[in-house]
């Protein structure tokens, strides 16, 4: 082939390519479509449909805007966000945990949401929500909870009755263990338990959750005032000893392999007598055990037991915030959508998809007659009441935060995702280490990590 022919072929191809590019660009210029990517962790089909409906209404009002929702599981959200941020391609908006929001805002990656708060009306938003997301250092809000809720102790009333144990909240961990031992029963007479007192979820997210809740309920903290980890302390040692005792007496042998949903299945099918969990689980019971739901066999405790060194219990405030990424493609459109999302009718539509789990963050919606008439409250009103009591009287805190001051720590996400707390628990429950040994090692690892990340301040 001659050089001339090569050149003419290449020129022709280039011309065709350029022509196609121009042709493709023309309609885009005439009507540019701005695609806004929104990640959330709501897997419920009703919730997804409600989000789609709200999005469609927003698109109608904003021609040229296309909102795209993507459901991400809790287990993979953190890793997916990390990868997207590291690649410089974050979504425009996403759900997170408060500790993720705090870590990301400390790194300057989030857009302030003060305008969103102003649009809703700051006075209308519950104080606890504002406290969660307000950065006292720069006076900005970097997240806003889509809803709130609390982690509660869920139990089978029929099994409690059968075992002759009180349905009141056990006062101490020792009382709780005694109750759980009575609820761990051998049904077939072979000398081994067939039903266990309690089931826990094995994924790291939930082990982190138990650790900080139980340390908090035992008068302890995970971090000192200067940010130094406080893992190698008495409240943590006692928490680990409690974990081990629970593991040995009252948890199913395979609990480390149980998923969160598996816990609800186990309770519904009678494999265990109680679990820790969230309001969404009510719908699993409706699906798996409608007869038991109708018979009122499920109960929820309005509090939790306290550890030997504690004076009050700590439970988790579910407060997943929406976050908008500063360096995303369309952060301003995402903010406009968020304002639209919290408009009363839209927000009610969203909240009512999983009303036992989603508590509205606005006072006006809580007082709204249409919200209060939500049919699910007829069956599950006791569950929402229990959560209401905890939120109003027992100051629940978000994941990984035993103290409100922990909100200012920039490394909680890294600690949560490092597996340090999980390894600490596994080492103790498997019998490989004593609580003191495991806590000392976790302390060392956490200090090393914080130092390597450049956040050491002690």
Name the 3-class secondary structure at 231.
coil
Distance CA(302)–CA(246), nearest Å, equals: 21
Torsion, CA 386, CA 389, CA 393, CA 395, rounded to 10: 50
Is residue 281 within 8 Å of 225, Cβ to Cβ? Answer: no
Binding mask 59-78 for another protein (x = CB under 8 A): ----------------x---
User: Which of 96, 112, 197, 204 lies at the binding interface for another protein (CB under 8 A)?
Assistant: 204
**What would the two tokens of residue 434 be?**
């004593």
Distance CA(159)–CA(270), nearest Å, equals: 9
Q: Which one, 251 or 354, has the nearer CB to another protein?
A: 251
- Under rule CB under 8 A, how many of the chain's residues touch another protein? 51
From the list 24-32, 190-198, 352-360, 371-379, the region that binds another protein by CB under 8 A is 190-198
Q: Is the dihedral of CA 112, 114, 116, 122 positive or negative?
A: positive
From the list 22-30, 186-194, 305-313, 370-378, the region that binds another protein by CB under 8 A is 186-194
From the list 4-12, 35-43, 159-167, 212-220, the region that binds another protein by CB under 8 A is 4-12
Residue 258 is a binding residue for another protein (CB under 8 A): yes
In the bound complex, what is the minimum distance in angstroms from residue 348's beta carbon to another protein? 35
From the list 94-102, 263-271, 335-343, 399-407, the region that binds another protein by CB under 8 A is 263-271
Residue 426 is a binding residue for another protein (CB under 8 A): yes
For residue 92, count CB atoms less than 10 angstroms from its CB and return exposed for 0-12, middle for 13-18, buried for 19 or more: buried
Distance CA(428)–CA(420), nearest Å, equals: 13
In the bound complex, what is the minimum distance in angstroms from residue 254's beta carbon to another protein? 4
User: Which of 409, 417, 442, 443 lies at the binding interface for another protein (CB under 8 A)?
Assistant: 417
Residue 457 is a binding residue for another protein (CB under 8 A): no
Residue 441 is a binding residue for another protein (CB under 8 A): yes
**What would the two tokens of residue 10 be?**
């290449």
**What would the two tokens of residue 49 be?**
């449909």
Q: Which one, 252 or 305, has the nearer CB to another protein?
A: 252
In the bound complex, what is the minimum distance in angstroms from residue 372's beta carbon to another protein? 37
Nearest of 12, 47, 123 to residue 358 by alpha carbon: 47
Distances (CA, A) of 413 to 100, 247, 281, 304, 328: 5, 27, 26, 26, 21
What is the footprint of another protein within residues 78-107 (CB under 8 A)? 79, 82-83, 85-86, 104, 107
Distance CA(207)–CA(430), nearest Å, equals: 14
In the bound complex, what is the minimum distance in angstroms from residue 184's beta carbon to another protein? 14
In the bound complex, what is the minimum distance in angstroms from residue 260's beta carbon to another protein? 11
Query: Which contiguous run of DSSP H or E holds residue 420?
Result: helix 420-429
Interface contacts to another protein, rule CB under 8 A: 1-6, 75, 79, 82-83, 85-86, 104, 107, 109, 190, 192, 194, 202-205, 207, 252-254, 256-259, 262, 265-266, 269, 271, 414, 417-419, 422-423, 425-427, 429-430, 441, 449, 452-454
């Amino acid at each position: 082939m001659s050089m001339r022919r090569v050149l003419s072929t290449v020129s022709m191809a280039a011309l065709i390519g350029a022509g196609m590019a121009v042709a493709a660009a023309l309609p885009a210029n005439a009507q540019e479509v701005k695609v806004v990517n929104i990640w959330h962790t709501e897997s419920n089909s009703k919730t997804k449909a409600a989000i789609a409906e709200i999005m469609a209404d927003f698109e109608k009002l904003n021609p040229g805007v296309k909102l795209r929702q993507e459901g991400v599981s809790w287990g993979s959200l953190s890793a997916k966000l990390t990868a997207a941020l590291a690649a410089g391609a974050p979504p425009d908006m996403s759900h997170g945990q408060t500790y993720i929001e705090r870590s990301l805002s400390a790194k300057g990656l989030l857009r302030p949401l003060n305008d969103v708060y102003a649009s809703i009306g700051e006075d209308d938003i519950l104080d606890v929500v504002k406290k969660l997301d307000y950065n006292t250092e720069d006076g900005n809000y970097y997240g806003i909870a889509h809803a709130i809720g609390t982690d509660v102790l869920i139990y089978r009333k029929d099994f409690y009755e059968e075992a002759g144990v009180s349905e009141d909240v056990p006062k101490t961990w020792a009382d709780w263990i005694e109750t759980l031992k009575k609820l761990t029963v051998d049904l077939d007479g072979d000398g081994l338990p067939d039903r266990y007192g309690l089931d826990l979820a094995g994924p790291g997210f939930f082990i982190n959750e138990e650790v900080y809740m139980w340390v908090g309920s035992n008068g302890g903290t995970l971090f000192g005032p200067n940010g130094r980890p406080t893992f190698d302390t008495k409240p943590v040692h006692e928490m680990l000893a409690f974990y081990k005792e629970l593991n040995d007496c009252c948890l199913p042998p395979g609990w480390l392999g149980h998923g969160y949903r598996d816990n609800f299945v186990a309770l519904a099918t009678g494999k265990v007598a109680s679990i820790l969990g969230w309001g969404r689980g009510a719908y699993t019971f409706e699906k798996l055990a409608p007869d038991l739901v109708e018979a009122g066999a499920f109960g929820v405790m309005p509090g939790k037991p306290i550890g030997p060194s504690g004076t009050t219990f700590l439970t988790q405030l579910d407060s997943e915030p929406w976050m908008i990424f500063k360096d995303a493609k369309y952060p301003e459109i995402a903010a406009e959508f968020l304002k639209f999302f919290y408009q009363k009718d839209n927000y009610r539509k969203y909240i009512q998809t999983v009303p036992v789990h989603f508590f509205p963050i606005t006072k006006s919606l809580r007082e709204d007659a249409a919200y209060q008439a939500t049919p699910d409250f007829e069956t599950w009103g006791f569950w929402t009441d229990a959560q209401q009591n905890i939120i109003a009287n027992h100051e629940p805190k978000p994941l990984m935060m035993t103290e409100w001051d922990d909100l200012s720590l920039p490394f909680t996400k890294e600690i949560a995702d490092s597996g340090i707390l999980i390894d600490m628990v596994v080492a103790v429950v498997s019998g490989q280490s004593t609580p003191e040994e495991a806590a000392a090692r976790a302390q060392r690892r956490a200090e090393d990590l914080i130092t390597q990340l450049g956040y050491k301040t002690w």
